[in-house]
Chain A
Amino acid sequence: METLIHNLFYRHFGNEILLRSEDAAVLDVQGKIAFTTDSYTVTPLFFNGGDIGRIAVAGTLNDLAMMGAKPLYLSCAFMLEEGLSYETLERIVISMKEELSQSGAKIVCGDTKVLPRGSVDQIFINTSGIGEVITEGISSHNLQAEDVILVSRDIGAHGATILASREGIELESSLCSDCAVLWPAVKALIDEKIAIHAMRDATRGGIAAVLNEWAMASDVCIEIKEEMIPISDEVRGICELLGMEPYDFANEGTFVLAVAPQDALRAQEILRRFEISTNAQVIGNVTVQKPGRVILHSPWGTARYLERPKGELLPRIC
């Protein structure tokens, strides 16, 4: 275990605070901080566009960014199944290091447990993170009538990639997870004084979950124009084959934001400067029509509620 910690974790994550090897990291933090935690498990561990390590870092960094907080420090705990190869673990750790470098945040404390075969599916990772709140008031309770809703890029790429790479669906496609660190794009929005009312990365449950949570939390109606939502042909194709909806698919580097109407187009333009959000798009707005509900408008003038996804996504039978 000592070798593992020194040769692997210290080597790749090394920084002054971590290398002191104290019982707890002592941090110098000023002002308000945001604090979050998440545990990560994904099958397969490696997929087109990412791996569990990348998600474990990006996911927690993104949760901080979504609160307008600059990511500073992370903890990292590994639960490893006995027999997991060193090479696999190293590949994951290197991914984590690369992902960290996108934001400047550091891993300052950690833990590793090796568990008997069968009690963990290869590897579980937990990361917690704290960040310095740069701009206050971003909240899912803060949506206001006439706010404009944007999505940072085409949706569902991660969910579709995972689905396509799982055993059972043998598909050749150019699908690639959207896994990415969002802080640089968020920082640009904050620096340019965009009035962000709410912001959330559309992870599990996709944009359907985020929009519904917002509509409920702020007691507003969110009306979306279906044809405005960017969706790649590949993601749409998977949905067509399996009878699923891209709105329900998980994302790992796509976020939804609600901004004051006068800032909407500027926010779209700022986001489009970043590689992770070149096709950012205004998709709808907040109204008082049906508080607590999300309404999807079709190009032929019909409307329906967008519900949050229920349980496991299963393919249609015929």
Chain B
Amino acid sequence: MSLQLKDLYDGFRDGSTIKALARTIKEESEKLSDPLRIMEVCGGHTHTIMKYGLKQLLPPSIEFIHGPGCPVCIMPKERIDHAISLARMKDTILLTLGDMIRVPGSSSSLVQERSRGCDIRPLYSPMDALKIARENPTKKVIFFAIGFETTTPMSAAVILQADHEGLQNLFFHINHVLVPQPVHAIMNDPQNRINAFIGPSHVSVISGSKIYDSIAEAYGTPIVVSGFEPVDVMEGILKIVVQKNENRSEVEVQYSRAVTHEGNLKAQKMIDQTMRVRDTFRWRGLGDIADSALKLRDEFSHFDAENVFAEFLSYEPIDDHKLCICGSILRGIAKPNDCTVFGTACTPNSPLGSCMVSSEGSCNAYYRFGGTH
């Protein structure tokens, strides 16, 4: 019998396993000396916690603080405006991923531009960019690349293939960002209250669990790299509670079915071949963070939309709507329902802030999956 897709997740959504983990967490957490304030760095985990109602299964001594790991949510408005300016250029096809097309920039969004006639296409796979560029030799095809370490190797593969084929009409606007630096930025904020982390498994499949070594060491916080299924997350939480009770603060891998300490060296090499660390990158809500993002290497500057179309792009910072507290949410010092416009002036249909737009954003997760209690 061949492996079915469901074999990969069925067991990790098993009701009795989840209930059993909830019981063990409850017992173990009675020994905690302090309440646990766990930051789940990645929006995917926020989504799991809300969608599967995991908070309802945990004792009040365990609180979640939702982190900045949503590539759409952390994109500052001026860079969304970049995408819009590029899309508006004559004879251009702009490509991007997922709900990036819904995020409002300073005065428009890609969805609105599409309805005005711009050719904007959400991709299912970045590799499709190659096909679109080949099929449209008279058009400028620009891939607005977003995502953390997880999606970066795919962009790198597209760049290497475009280079190999000598494609002249494919360009890249690179917005790839890194996990560790914003975590440091948050921990160095005196307002932060975080004392443990859940790290995203898919990032570490690429980058290894080694990227968290410095965090566990610097702040004495346990970090458990966990998968995204409810059983994974519950097991990750249990490992954190046990570490706390045993007075340990280590990087631990719950998602051992695919994460190693070193990660995927081949993918890391492809990234390194094509991209280098930017001196600084402005994160929505977090501000400028040094060494927190990637850009194309100089030898690929002919592919770099920020270089080729520089005259169309402005780097003037654009702040969020004054009622929007996405910044505080991304820094982990506020919850979506602390916001005065949450669910009223700001909804997934007409979002004011990016955390409401992306399905990985915490406001969106609260809105869609808000508990019933």
Listed in ascending order, the chain A residues whose CB lies under 8 Å from chain B are 168-169, 227, 233, 236-237, 240-243, 290, 293, 295, 298-305, 307, 310-312, 314-318
Contact = CB atoms under 8 A, between A and B. Distances in A.
A315 B124 contact: yes
B19 A316 contact: no
A315 B52 CA distance: 19
Nearest to B370: A305
A interface majority secondary structure: loop
B5 A240 contact: yes
Given A233-B6, A242-B124, A317-B360, A299 B150 contact: no
Interface in B309-368: 347-349, 358-360, 367-368
Contacts of A240: 5, 9
B369 A236 contact: no
Contact of A318 (B19, B44, B56): B44
Nearest to B125: A168
Contacts of A314: 98-99, 101-102, 122, 359
Residue with the greatest number of chain A CB neighbours at <10 A, chosen from B98, B111, B150:
B98
Contacts of A317: 71-72, 97-100, 146-147, 151, 358, 360
Contact of A300 (B57, B150, B347): B57
29 contacts: A168-B124, A233-B6, A236-B6, A237-B6, A240-B9, A241-B5, A242-B124, A243-B359, A298-B53, A300-B18, A300-B19, A300-B52, A303-B56, A304-B50, A304-B53, A304-B370, A304-B372, A305-B369, A307-B367, A312-B111, A314-B102, A315-B97, A315-B124, A317-B100, A317-B146, A317-B147, A318-B147, A318-B150, A318-B202
Given A168-B124, A310-B348, A317-B98, A305 B372 contact: yes
A315 B372 contact: no
B22 A300 contact: yes
Contact of A301 (B19, B124, B151, B370): B19
Contacts of B52: 298, 300, 302
A307 B368 contact: yes
For chain B, which range describes its interface: under 10, 10 to 19, 20 to 34, or 35 or more residues?
35 or more
Contacts of B134: none
Contacts of B369: 304-305
Contacts of B56: 301-303
A318 B148 contact: yes
A303 B202 CA distance: 27
B63 interface: no
Interface in B42-67: 44, 50-54, 56-57
Given A233-B5, A305-B369, A300 B124 contact: no
Contacts of B151: 317-318
Interface in B88-121: 97-102, 111
B102 to A, nearest CB: 7
Contacts of B128: 168
Nearest to A167: B128
B111 to A, nearest CB: 8
B371 interface: yes
B260 to A, nearest CB: 19
A314 B348 CA distance: 13
B123 interface: yes
Contacts of B18: 300
A237 B5 CA distance: 6
Contacts of A227: 15
B41 to A, nearest CB: 13
Contacts of B99: 314, 317
Nearest to B123: A168
A316 B359 CA distance: 7
A169 B71 contact: no
A241 B8 CA distance: 12
A315 B368 CA distance: 16
A300 B15 contact: yes
A227 B347 CA distance: 29
B150 A303 contact: no
A307 B9 CA distance: 24
Nearest to A242: B124
Contact of B349 (A295, A310, A315): A310
A315 B15 contact: no
Top 10 nearest A-B pairs by Cβ distance?
A302-B53, A299-B15, A300-B18, A317-B98, A237-B5, A300-B15, A318-B150, A310-B348, A302-B56, A168-B124
